[in-house]
Each structure stands twice: as C-alpha cells, then as structure tokens.
Structure 1
Amino acid sequence: MKKGLIHHVELYVSNLNHSIKFWGWFLKELGYSQYQKWENGQSWKLEDTYIVFVQADERFLDIPYHRCRVGLNHLAFHSDSKEHVDEMTKKLKEKGINILYPDQHPFAGGDDHYAVYFEDPDRIKVELVAP
C-alpha cells in the first residue's frame, strides 16, 4: 500500500551543479539512481520516491535559505546500521563536508538516536539515521 508515503520532494537550489555534485554521491550511496535530467534540474529515485533539485530563478537568489525560517528544516534518511552511519560520516569528512554538532556526534538527536547531521551547499540540514 502506498497511501500516505511521500511521492517526491522538490528543492530549489542556488547552484544546480554544486547540488548535483553534493547530492549525487550521497543519494547513490543510499541506493538511489538518477531518474530525470534536464537543463535546470535533476532527480534521483529509490523505489517509488524521488528527490528533485531545480535551479532557482536568479530573481530569488538574494534571499538565502535558512532552516530556522518558515519552510523545510531538514531531510532525514534511513541508514541500515550504525556502521553505515560511521562509514558515511568518514566519507563526508573526507569530502570536506561540515558535520553538524560534532561535540555531540553521533548522539546529537538524543541518547537513543544514532545519526550524522550535515549540510548541503545551500545549508539545508541532512540527517542519516541508524535503525
């Protein structure tokens, strides 16, 4: 039954090339595959859900995204194990991607919540959570 599951998420980004570079490897690591590609966007799909990244119109780039404003706070993805979270944390660091809450990692979400938190090029918070 698919009722209630998310069909897709579409994010407007400030620099499509930077976002594709950032998200492409991460989503591939989680089992997503490239789904659609056009001049101003690209998407990746896993089963029945896909994530779309679209180049924002230049007229709106003067107002930067901030996750504490009204709107999207973060995207959280399931991992299959704590070891996978650790492996991805290492890869994120090797790519120079900032790990959020390093003093609390991997329990920044609480004692029962094993995860890594980081930011995409537009500072959208991303979370990878162990079961």
Structure 2
Amino acid sequence: MSGLHHIEVWVDDLDGAISSWGWLLERLGYAVTAQWPGGASWGDGGAYITLTTSPNLADAAHDRRRSGVNHLAFLGGTRAEVDAVMREAPGRGWTPLYSERYPHAGGPDHYAGWIENAAGFKVEIVAEAP
C-alpha cells in the first residue's frame, strides 16, 4: 500500500499559522479534525495536515530555499476555483508569487498559482486538467 498519511508543519507562531493555513486548508476543502493547545489538524477524509508549535522556537527562521521541503502543492479544483483562491489569498495573509507569469509559471500546460505566507511557507494551488 502506498500514499501519503499526513504532513506535520512546525511553526513558530501557531495563531498566525492557524489564521493563514486554516483559511487556505478550509478553502481547499479540508476541515478541522483536531485541536489542542499546541496545534491543530485538518483533513479531507484521507491524508491530513497538522500545524504544531515548534519545540525550537527562535532557533532559526523557516527558509524554504534551504535543504528541506520547498513547498506543498494542493489540488485546487477548476481553473476558476484556483483563480478565486488566488484573488482571496492576499486578504488572508498570503502573498502571490510569480504574478507576472500567473497562471503558467510552471509551464504552458500547467495551470497553478503560488503563494507564500508571512512565515515564508510556500504553497502551490494546482488546477485540474480542463
């Protein structure tokens, strides 16, 4: 058996992460499945995503350009749905990336948007094939 079970993201500012990530995950169809003083999880019936307060606060800021995970890519539905997420994202704590090449920054046959939150986490929202 193969497949992704869950992703755990350690964050310095849990409230800020829940504000930006929570909006995005719920906008993409995930629902809160658990909450506790140091974190929260969102799921969609399959793999789930957990945000947890890092045990090493202030050791070093997150830098997606260093070794490790660069970004997470989520299915965003139709092209119109991806466009809607990209329009709403700036008001929810996310900064669009590669705007000058949107929606084809990944190539002419790849319709997606990239956003980054204040903590430096990058997310790609990918449209289904037309």
Identify whether the pair has TM-score above 0.5, normalized to the shorter chain. yes
Structure 1 length normalisation: TM-score? 0.91
Structure 2's unaligned 5+ residue stretches are none
Q: 1:119 aligns with which of 109, 116, 121?
A: 116
Q: Secondary structure at the match of 2:19?
A: helix
Q: Which residue of 1 aligns with 2:70?
A: 73
What is the CA distance between 1:41 and its match in structure 2? 0.6
Q: Which residue of 1 aligns with 2:18?
A: 20
Structure 1's unaligned 5+ residue stretches are none
Q: What is the number of residues matched between the two proteins?
A: 128
Identity %: 37
Q: Which residue of 1 aligns with 2:53?
A: 55
Structure 2 length normalisation: TM-score? 0.92
Instruction: Spell out, residue by residue over 1:26-83, the C-alpha distance to the aligned partner (whole angstroms, 9 max, x if none).
Output: 11111111011111111101112110000112x4423111111111110000121100
- Give the Cα separation in 1 of the matches to 2:3 and 2:50: 16
